[in-house]
Amino acid sequence: PAVSAGQRFAKNAAIIAHRGASGYAPEHTLAAFRSAIEAGADYIEIDLQLTKDGQIVAMHDNTVNRTTNAKGKVGAMTLDAIKQLDAGSWFNQHHPMYAREEYARQQVPSLSDIFTAFGRETHYILEIKDTSYNPGIEERLLETINQYRLEDYVIIQSFEAKSLKKIHMMNDRIELLQLMWYNTPARISSLSLNKIKKYATGISPNFPKINAAYVHKVQKSGLRIYPYTVNYQLNMDRALSWGVDGIYTDYPDRFREVLRQN
Ligand code: G3P
Ligand code: CA
C-alpha cells in the first residue's frame, strides 16, 4: 500500500527536549538536560540570556523570579550571584509527583557549563531571547560555540529575524530556525518563505495553530518544520501524520515511544 508522508518521515523526526526534559525536572538545569539525553532526545533546546557581566546563562524569562528562589533581572545580576540561587525547589513545589530532593541543589547553568557537561554527547537548539534585554548576545554565542568546537552540533533559533540574519552574516555554516507565533490559524505566503530561506533552514511554529497544509507548504519551499510544544501523544501522532521534521516536547520519552510505534 502507498505510504503517507507522515509514515515516510516518522522514523526520522527529531526529538527536541524543550528546556531539557522539563516535564520531569526543573527546566534549564543540568538535571533536566541529563534526563533528556537519557530519554533519547536528539536535541536539547535551551533559552539564553546575558548576565550583568556578559555571560550567557540558560533561562527562559528575563528575571529569575519564576525558576529560582530569588527575584531580579538576569541582566542586573552577575553570573556568580546567579549561581548561588536554588533553581530546583520551585519545580518540587509545582510538580510534587516528580519532585526530588536533589533538585534543590540545581543551579542556573551558563552555556559554558552545559557545553562542558555534555560536549558532543548531544545536539543543541540554542534560542536567542529578546535582544532588547540581551544586546550583543549573537557575538558572545558564536564565540562560545567556537570555543567548544561545537559548530556542527548546534542550531540557533529566534523569533527575531534581525538577530538570525546577523548570525548568518557572521557565520553562514550554522543552521538557523525562524520561530513563529500565531494567534489565529497559521498561514504563510510564498514570499515570506522565500525571505526566511535566505538565512534559515527551517521554521518552528506553535503547534495548535498549524495544519497539514501549512506543514506541506513549508516543506515544499525547501524549509524544515518543527512545531512546539507538543506534550500529548495524540498530538504527536497528528504532527507525525503531517510529516513534520521533529517536535519540541517537555516529555521526550513520550515522543520516543510514539516514534517507536509508528
Ligand atoms: O523553542 C520553541 C519554543 O521554546 C519557543 O517558546 O517561550 O518556550 O521559548 P518558548
Ligand atoms: Ca525556547
Please write the tens of the pLDDT for every residue from 27-83. 999 999 999 999 999 999 999 999 999 999 999 999 999 999 999 999 999 999 999
Which atom of ligand 1 is closest in space to residue 125's alpha carbon?
Answer: 1
Q: How far is the CA of 20 from the centre of ligand 1 (A)?
A: 12
CATH number for the domain that contains residue 40: 3.20.20.190
pLDDT tier at 11 (50, 70, 90 boundaries)?
Answer: low
Please write the tens of the pLDDT for every residue from 135-181. 999 999 999 999 999 999 999 999 999 999 999 999 999 999 999 99
Total domains in the fold of the chain? 1
Q: How far is the CA of 96 from the centre of ligand 2 (A)?
A: 24
60 in active site: yes
- Cβ–ligand 1 contact at 44 (below 6 Å): no
Percent of the chain topping pLDDT 70: 96
* Full residue range of the structural domain in which residue 155 is found: 5-261
Predicted confidence at residue 114, as pLDDT, reads 99
Mean pLDDT of 83-109: 98
Predicted confidence at residue 110, as pLDDT, reads 98
Among protein residues, the one whose CA lies closest to atom 7 of ligand 1: 60
Cell (9 digits) for 110: 551558563
Contacts of 152 (CB under 8 A, 6+ apart): none
- Cβ–ligand 1 contact at 226 (below 6 Å): no
pLDDT tier at 2 (50, 70, 90 boundaries)?
Answer: very low
Predicted confidence at residue 144, as pLDDT, reads 98
- Cβ–ligand 1 contact at 179 (below 6 Å): yes
168 in active site: no
Predicted confidence at residue 262, as pLDDT, reads 87
Task: Compute, in degrees rounded to 10, the torsion defined by CA atoms 15, 21, 23, 27.
Answer: -130
- Cβ–ligand 1 contact at 47 (below 6 Å): yes
Looking at this predicted complex, what is its ipTM? 0.96
- Residue 128: strand pairing partners: 48
Packed helices 252-261 and 233-241: angle between N→C axes, nearest 10 degrees: 50
Predicted confidence at residue 4, as pLDDT, reads 44
The pTM score is 0.95
Decide if pLDDT at 9 tops 80.
no
- Cβ–ligand 1 contact at 178 (below 6 Å): no
Q: How far is the CA of 187 from the centre of ligand 2 (A)?
A: 22
Predicted confidence at residue 1, as pLDDT, reads 35
Mean pLDDT of 190-202: 98
Predicted confidence at residue 3, as pLDDT, reads 41
